[in-house]
C-alpha cells in the first residue's frame, strides 16, 4: 500500500463515530515505528452531564503500516493500543484480573468480527496510596491493557471493525454496559 492507500485507510478511520461516552481525538502518531502511522486518543466518561460527568477510562489507538511488513507483525499493518481505567480495589487485588483483562481484549475484537494475527500484550494492575500532604486523597486502583495485533485488511473500510473493537474494549474495561443489538443511541459525535 502506498501513501495514497494509507490516506484512504486513515480517512475511513476518521469517519468512525463511537458511542456517546467516548471522545476521540486525532493525536500525533509515533514516527519512527513504521513508514506510515495514525493515532487516536480516547477519553471515556460515565455518561452523565454537567458537574456529574467524570472520566472513567482513557486510551490510545495507533495504526502502523510498513510496506513489505515486519516479521514480528506477520503482516504490513499493526494496531498498537493502550487502555487505562479505574477499578474497584477488590477487583484490583483479584489474582485473575490479568487473565480477565486479556480475555476482555480478545472478546472485544471478536465481538466486532475482526480478522487478526499475532496478538500480544500485557495487563497491569496499578495500586496507588498517598502519603504526607497528599494523604487526604483516596487510594486508587487501575487496570492497564497494552496490546497489539496485526489486522487483516483487504479493503480500507475493514479497519473500522478494529477501531470499533478497541472502543468496545475501552468501554468494557470502564464498566459501561454494552449497547444491545438493534438499539440506537443519540450520539453527540464527540470528537476533538
pLDDT of residue 191: 45
**61 within 8 A of 81, measured Cβ to Cβ:** yes
75-82 average pLDDT score = 94
Query: What are the structural domain ranges in the chain?
Result: 3-174
pLDDT of residue 20: 84
The helices-and-strands tally (H runs, E runs) of the chain is: 4, 6
C-alpha cell at 137: 486523597
DSSP output for 67-128: EEEETTTTEEEEEEEEEEEE--HHHHH-TTHHHHHHHHHHHHHHHTT--EEEEEEEEEEEEE
H/E element holding 4? Answer: helix 3-14
pLDDT band at 188 (very low <50, low <70, confident <90, very high): very low
pLDDT of residue 175: 87
In the 8-state DSSP scheme, what is residue 139? Answer: P
pLDDT of residue 189: 45
pLDDT of residue 86: 87
The predicted-structure confidence for 1-39, as pLDDT tens digits, reads as follows 788 888 888 988 898 999 888 999 999 999 889 999 999
pLDDT band at 184 (very low <50, low <70, confident <90, very high): low
Which range has the worst mean pLDDT, 1-10, 50-59, 103-112, 116-125?
A: 50-59
85-109 average pLDDT score = 90
Look at 134 and 38; give whichever has higher pLDDT. Answer: 38
**106 within 8 A of 119, measured Cβ to Cβ:** yes
Amino acid at each position: 500500500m502506498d501513501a495514497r492507500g494509507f490516506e484512504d485507510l486513515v480517512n475511513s478511520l476518521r469517519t468512525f463515530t463511537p458511542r456517546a461516552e467516548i471522545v476521540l481525538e486525532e493525536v500525533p502518531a509515533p514516527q519512527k515505528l513504521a513508514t506510515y502511522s495514525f493515532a487516536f486518543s480516547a477519553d471515556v466518561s460515565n455518561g452523565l452531564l454537567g458537574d456529574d460527568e467524570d472520566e472513567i477510562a482513557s486510551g490510545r489507538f495507533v495504526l502502523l503500516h510498513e510496506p513489505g511488513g515486519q516479521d514480528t507483525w506477520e503482516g504490513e499493518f499493526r494496531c498498537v493500543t493502550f487502555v487505562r481505567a479505574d477499578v474497584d480495589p477488590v477487583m484490583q487485588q483479584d489474582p485473575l484480573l490479568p487473565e480477565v483483562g486479556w480475555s476482555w481484549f480478545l472478546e472485544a475484537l471478536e465481538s466486532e468480527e475482526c480478522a487478526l494475527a499475532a496478538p500480544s500484550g500485557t495487563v497491569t494492575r496499578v495500586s496507588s496510596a498517598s502519603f504526607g500532604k497528599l494523604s487526604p486523597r483516596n487510594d486508587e486502583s487501575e487496570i492497564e491493557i497494552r496490546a497489539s495485533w496485526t489486522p487483516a485488511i483487504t479493503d480500507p473500510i475493514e479497519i473500522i471493525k478494529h477501531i470499533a473493537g478497541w472502543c468496545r474494549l475501552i468501554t468494557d474495561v470502564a464498566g459501561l454496559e454494552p449497547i444491545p443489538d438493534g438499539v440506537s443511541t443519540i450520539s453527540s459525535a464527540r470528537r476533538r
